[in-house]
Structure 1
Amino acid sequence: MLQAGGLDIQELTMSYGGDPVIEGLDLQLLAGKITVFVGSNGCGKSTLLRAVARLLRPQRGSVFLDGKDLLQLPTKEVARKLAILPQGPTAPEGLTVLQLARQGRYPHQSWLKQWSREDERIVREALHKTGMSTYAERTVDSLSGGQRQRAWIAMTLAQDTDWLLLDEPTTYLDLAHQIEILDLLFELNEREGRTVVMVLHDLNLACRYAHHIVAVHDKSVWAEGPPEVVLTREMVETVFGLSCEIDTDPIFGTPLVIPHGKGRRLKQRPKKERQYV
């Protein structure tokens, strides 16, 4: 049964010419939520996201948005509904932040509808929301990693879609910039009701920001649901091959994964008395 106001994946099988990467996968994504795909390297989570964005054609199965098969919709219509930010996007040398953001309005242009004041307003709002207004005339290649990612997110916001799809948006960013980007996406969801679907590697950050987590393993969905339901020792050991403990994040109250590993353990040292001279 197709889900109204959401995105439905039915019997999806994806391959790159060899054995399937995804096989017979069924999944429903709710509108208005933050969903995070997690899984080990090569498990197919990015492939799944690209199938949802119609960047890859399924070998079998279908992806439906609001009850309509994405493959049957015109490309521009899909781009007015779904905005995709792939991993590690690159911009032509010398392209400014403003010029990049304006690219997001392409799906709304036609021979009959050229650039308008409304287009310019939406672009300027996208720059404002991402904190990039003061960098509008800077070239994208002159920005820091976090600023560059914000510029790309501004472009996706300029598309003015309800769905934002992001493949590892925090890759290559330091921890402070990771939090900055995830906070931005969280605010877009909270304040504007934007649906966010993204791939993340960090399980603890996924738990902090996601309403719904989808663990991809063995070519399909191994587990899905709220973080406190999905994040178990069994899931981490099965999906990631990692022995761990699950605790509670002392700040957010979300699940906290503590890997066992083989790191150096500090021995408790006897307390020294303070010396006075």
Structure 2
Amino acid sequence: MNSLSAKNLTLGYGETIIIDNLDIEIPKGEITVFIGGNGCGKSTLLRSLARLLKPKGGTVLLDGVEMNKMKTKDIAKKLAILPQSPVSPEGLTVYELVKQGRHPHRSFIKNWSKKDEEAVNRALESTNMLHLKDRAVDSLSGGQRQRAWISLTLAQDTDIILLDEPTTYLDMTHQIEILDLLFDLNEQKGHTIVMVLHDLNLAARYAHHIVAVKDKRIYAQGKPEDIITCELVSDVFQMKCNISCDPIFGTPVCVPHGKGRLILAN
């Protein structure tokens, strides 16, 4: 199983530093979720782990090798990323979209193979999208469209999948549908999944490992039941709350003070 880590990682845009001298190691075969306030660097960190953002300092390692020394196609055989709110060309079908996931495994002289076809169909079946493969992506509902994009990452056939806010703009039902799908992929296929989520309670429910980011560094990381505390929520999100236990899953639940109104912590 492929490994992903970073050492002394510094990230930013122009003169602005977003992440400063950060070390992180992603647990293999688990679901890791990045949490933190708006603008804290969660998505920036995720993008750097996929080599979509060049570090200002430090390095990202894939299987112990510096990613900036690896070929893009070699990285794409081990790691897939689903960016936030991806857009497909108008009229592109689900099948045509998912086929793009096989690009890292092909060359100019290599024709479409039975293995490629099986990988695409397996990905569509895993996401329950096989019956929609001939539909245009832009004609799908939000939840269906997100499953189509996840199918593309699965067709890429990598151990590691990175997702930047995969539930953005989805209603509650479709958020749970997508997160259940990702949880099942981890449980059944053993994928290492890393994602950014804004909903702290959903993060605590689905993650094996949570990384809280604040002030350009990792504020805390570990199992949800170990790190999701009133103190963390106050320090990271500037919100007073109580932490209770989910009656179904036993995971931490954050209950804000103030009858639904956010009260800034002192």
TM superposition score category, shorter chain reference: over 0.9
**Letter matched to residue 246 of structure 1:** I
Cα distance in 2 for residues equivalent to 1:216 and 1:9: 15
Cα distance in 2 for residues equivalent to 1:261 and 1:97: 45
In the alignment of these two chains, the number of paired residues is 261
Q: What is the SS of the residue equivalent to 2:15?
A: coil
Cα distance in 2 for residues equivalent to 1:133 and 1:19: 45
Matched, 1:179 2:176: yes
Structure 1 gaps of 5+ residues are 265-277
Aligned to 1:57: 54
Cα distance in 2 for residues equivalent to 1:114 and 1:240: 51
Matched, 1:18 2:20: no
**Letter matched to residue 57 of structure 1:** K
Aligned to 1:271: none
Q: Name the CA shift for 1:261/1:61 in 2 (closer, same or farther; >3 Å).
A: farther
- Give TM-score scaled by structure 2 length: 0.96
**Letter matched to residue 37 of structure 1:** F
Alpha-carbon deviations, 1:169-213, whole Å to 9, x = none?
A: 000000010000000000000001000000000111101110000
Q: Name the CA shift for 1:5/1:124 in 2 (closer, same or farther; >3 Å).
A: closer
Matched, 1:166 2:163: yes
Q: Which runs of 4+ in 1 moved over 4 A?
A: none
Cα distance in 2 for residues equivalent to 1:178 and 1:93: 25
Q: What is the SS of the residue equivalent to 1:204?
A: helix
Q: What is the SS of the residue equivalent to 2:221?
A: strand
Aligned alpha-carbon RMSD (Å): 1.1
**Letter matched to residue 225 of structure 1:** G
Report the structure number with the largest CA radius of gyration: 1
Alpha-carbon deviations, 1:62-90, whole Å to 9, x = none?
A: 01111111111100000111100000000
Within a 5 Å distance, the mapping from 1:121-270 to structure 2 comes to 121-261=118-258, 263=260
Q: What is the SS of the residue equivalent to 1:123?
A: helix
Task: Tell whether the 8 Å contact from 2:7 to 2:21 is kept in structure 1 after alignment.
Answer: yes
Task: Tell whether the 8 Å contact from 1:38 to 1:215 is kept in structure 2 after alignment.
Answer: yes
The offset of 1:5, in angstroms, is 4.8
- Percent identity, aligned pairs only? 61
Alpha-carbon deviations, 1:195-242, whole Å to 9, x = none?
A: 000000011110111000000000010000000111011110000011
Alpha-carbon deviations, 1:23-81, whole Å to 9, x = none?
A: 00111111100000000100000000000000000000001111111111100000111
Q: What is the SS of the residue equivalent to 1:246?
A: strand
Aligned to 2:110: 113
Paired residue for 2:75, among 75, 78, 89?
78
**Letter matched to residue 64 of structure 2:** G
Paired residue for 1:39, among 28, 31, 36?
36
